[in-house]
Amino acid sequence: MNKKYSEDEDALIVEEIQSFLQEKRTALKSIRMGIAVILVQISAVGFLVTAFRNHAFIQAMYRMDILVVLGAILLGTAIYLFVYPLIRIHRLNRKILEFKQKRSKMVNLTI
């Protein structure tokens, strides 16, 4: 009976670790999205520079105001999408380490 309980407990711990790894994959996808948002912003700036290269700076100034506001919003979103998942990944790594240390059999489990 005791062995059955131990096997059930081991299975539960492995399922918990698998759920933590799924959360890590989701966090890595968020980081990828943050990088994509930054690239969209860089592409928009590059497009505007090439589109208004021959025009006077004062004529294009009202479009630059919109670009600066949009750029600030996109930069804030990209920072959030990049930094918050890194913090989450660090927490998940600590939880996985706690689970592995709780059960000595799982110390050799590589994740």
Q: What span, in angstroms and rounded, lies between the C-alpha atoms of 9 and 4? A: 9
Which has the closest alpha carbon to 89: 21, 14, 32? 21
The per-residue pLDDT for range 86-101, each reduced to its tens digit, is 999 999 999 888 877 7
The per-residue pLDDT for range 58-87, each reduced to its tens digit, is 666 666 777 788 888 988 998 998 999 999
Quote the pLDDT of residue 1.
44
Q: pTM of this prediction?
A: 0.69
Please tell me which residue, 28 or 55, carries the higher pLDDT value: 28
Is 33 within 8 Å of 81 (Cβ atoms)? yes
Indicate the domain borders of the chain. 2-108
Q: 20: phi > 0 → left, psi -120 to 50 → alpha, else beta; which?
A: alpha
Quote the pLDDT of residue 54.
67
